[in-house]
Amino acid sequence: MTSRARLVGFNHVALEVGDLDEALEFYGRLFEVKLRGRGPRMAFIDAGDQFIALAEGPSRPSDEHRHVGMVVDDRKAVRRALREMNVEILPGRGLDFLDPWGNHWQVVEYSEIQFTKAPEILKGMDLGDLKKSEKALEELRRKGLAPE
């Protein structure tokens, strides 16, 4: 019998953008951006123990279902920044938007979902005070991922 690897998480997400400098400026207005590294046509934005790889490339049309689900500490701050930048927020119950290159972003707040960072990672990111809602904790408990 063969065993299969178990999914542990995501190391990074890679996105194509039309212009690297414009993309870094755009994302820098939405999020605190810290570069992990940069090359002539690629940049790597830290997200704690993960990262986003931006690659300069041709623009492609977005589609209805492919998107990046981003976890933030303050979704309201992202909403405010999007409004200040005149970026259209897509209809629906969440906070979804398209960046200038057609990448579809879905923004969720850390406290409201089961996605969890280890305490030492949160502390290293200066986010040690982030807490989960009771609903998110219950979701984690059902899967055996949080204390009873």
The architecture (CATH level 2) of 12-58+66-142 comes to Roll (3.10)
The predicted model scores a pTM of 0.87
Reply yes or no on whether the pLDDT at 113 is more than 90. yes
Please, what sign has the CA dihedral across residues 82, 44, 100, 67? Answer: negative
Dump pLDDT digits (tens) for 122-148. 999 999 999 999 999 999 999 999 888
Dump pLDDT digits (tens) for 60-80. 777 777 899 999 999 999 999
- Residue 141: per-residue pLDDT: 94
Dump pLDDT digits (tens) for 2-29. 688 677 778 999 999 999 999 999 999 9
Confidence of residue 117 (pLDDT cuts 50, 70, 90): very high
Confidence of residue 47 (pLDDT cuts 50, 70, 90): very high
Reply yes or no on whether the pLDDT at 1 is more than 70. no
- Residue 53: per-residue pLDDT: 96
Helix (H, G, I), strand (E, B) or coil at 21: helix
The domain locations on the chain are 12-58+66-142
CB 114 within 8 A of CB 139: yes
Between CA 129 and CA 131 the distance in angstroms is 6
Dump pLDDT digits (tens) for 97-110. 999 999 999 999 99
